[in-house]
Amino acid sequence: MPKIRSIVSAITLVGSISVASAWEALPTTAPAPANNPTTAEKVELGRILYHDPRLSSTGTVSCASCHNTMLGGEDNRPNSMGVHGQTGGRSAPTVWNSAFNKVQFWDGRAASLEEQAAGPVTNPIEMGMKSWDDVVVRLKSIEGYQAYFDKAFGENSISKDNATKAIAAYERTLITPNSAYDKYAKGDKKALTAQQIRGLKSVAKLGCTTCHSGPAFNGGGSFQKFPVINNAFLEKKYQFANDKGLFEVTAKSGDEHFFKVPTLRNIALTAPYFHNGSVETLEKAVKVMAKVQLDKKLSVEETADIVAFLNALTGEFPKQTMPTLPATNGTSFN
């Protein structure tokens, strides 16, 4: 599938400011792994599974509960709320454009969307299923699922592997192109306001795009240390360091506080901010990042310009049909 990319050198766009980054529009299709090519049948099944709360122990939490595609692809909460009202320590990342992350989860512990999709279902404070074996038993007992799996993967194909492949295939369709920024990057110079263009220039000049690079402004999913500059005042207020990021998974010295670089796409829709959801507003998030990553104190005007630019990264959300979930006929799991 052809990727629509319009790569314009930063020098052209930001005028006299010479920076290394290139301004690229968001591709309208996402790459799929060789073992899970995207098909319409997988996407259809994936959309159903993604919205099915019966994949949780209580029957109340679906993938969409915390990664709500009707909102900005997440839940607008500091930390998500799973089964029995439990909360963890991290803020749900947006599912929109997650296909453009090289790794998934805040700590990047999943190498693919397929691997990510398996996690929350059996996490005791998220969807709370005891095991994927139990999930497969449920799916097999819901009469209508067999036909969807048959179409997507062939006969007798209800399995953890295929369920997560279908969910990942659906997620690869969740792309939000045609933001004001994309139109600008493709050559429409009127697509951004003067303030947004000042913000774009600041983002490049300050160095934000060193990490938040590429069409999804996520460095392709690279890891970065956060925060680099420990600021006692901000640390006390937001307690960023409690979560050791990649180190929590690897326990390797040197991995402390490394996190996946999150996308800036649709960031105006995904408050509150950072891995622990501790920063309430986009304005504060911009100021905090400038301070702890770049050791810069932004002026009120610079902050407003950058926030205006970040608002230009809100894309167009594809219309989706609400799936009718296969029925739990005459019985229930709870």
Q: By the 8 A CB rule, do 20 and 10 touch? A: yes
For the bound state, the minimum distance from the C-beta of residue 78 to a second copy, rounded and expressed in Å, comes to 6
Decide: is 85 part of the binding site for a second copy (CB under 8 A): yes
Q: Please, what is the minimum distance in Å from the beta carbon of residue 230 to a second copy?
A: 26
Please, what is the minimum distance in Å from the beta carbon of residue 20 to a second copy? 28
**Closer to a second copy by Cβ: residue 43 or 81:** 81
Question: Which range in 10-18, 159-167, 203-211, 265-273 contacts a second copy by CB under 8 A?
Answer: 265-273
Q: Taking the CB of residue 176, how many other CB atoms lie within 10 A of it?
A: 22
Residue of the chain from 6, 39, 59, 296 that contacts a second copy (CB under 8 A): 59
Residue 7, H or E segment: strand 7-9
Q: Token digits for 18?
A: 């010479």
Q: Is 76 in the site for a second copy (CB under 8 A)?
A: yes
Nearest to 117 by CA among 163, 176, 157, 148: 163
In terms of CB distance, is 33 or 323 closer to a second copy?
323
Nearer to a second copy, 13 or 290 (CB): 290
Please state, in angstroms and rounded to a whole number, the distance separating the CA atoms of residues 129 and 182.
40
Query: Per CB under 8 A, does 84 bind a second copy?
Result: yes
Beta carbon nearer to a second copy, 6 or 58:
58
Q: Which of 33, 53, 88, 207 binds a second copy (CB under 8 A)?
A: 53
The token pair that represents 159 in the structure block: 């399995």
Q: How many residues bind a second copy (CB under 8 A)?
A: 49
What is the number of residues in the chain?
Answer: 334
- Helix (H) or strand (E) run with residue 8 in it: strand 7-9
Q: Which residue has the tokens 């959309």?
A: 47
Please state, in angstroms and rounded to a whole number, the distance separating the CA atoms of residues 66 and 79: 9
126 catalytic residue (yes or no): yes
**Among the options 24, 114, 126, 171, which is catalytic?**
126
Q: What's the rounded Cα separation, in Å, for the pair 90 and 278?
A: 9
In sequence order, what DSSP letters do the residues of 138-189 get, joined into one string?
HHHHSTTHHHHHHHHH-TT--SHHHHHHHHHHHHTT------HHHHHHTT-T
The answer to the question of residue 214 lying near a second copy (CB under 8 A) is no
Q: Are 83 and 58 in contact (CB under 8 A)?
A: yes
In contact, 160 and 135? CB cutoff 8 Å: yes
Site string for a second copy, 295-334 (x = CB under 8 A): ------------x---x--x--x-xxxxxxx-xxxxxxxx
Considering the complex, what minimum distance in angstroms separates the CB of residue 65 from a second copy? 7
Q: Which is nearer to a second copy, 34 or 322 (CB)?
A: 322
Is residue 195 near a second copy by the rule CB under 8 A?
no
Which is closer to a second copy, CB of 42 or CB of 54?
54
Residues that bind a second copy (CB under 8 A): 51-54, 58-60, 65, 68-72, 75-78, 81, 83-86, 268-269, 271-272, 280-283, 307, 311, 314, 317, 319-325, 327-334
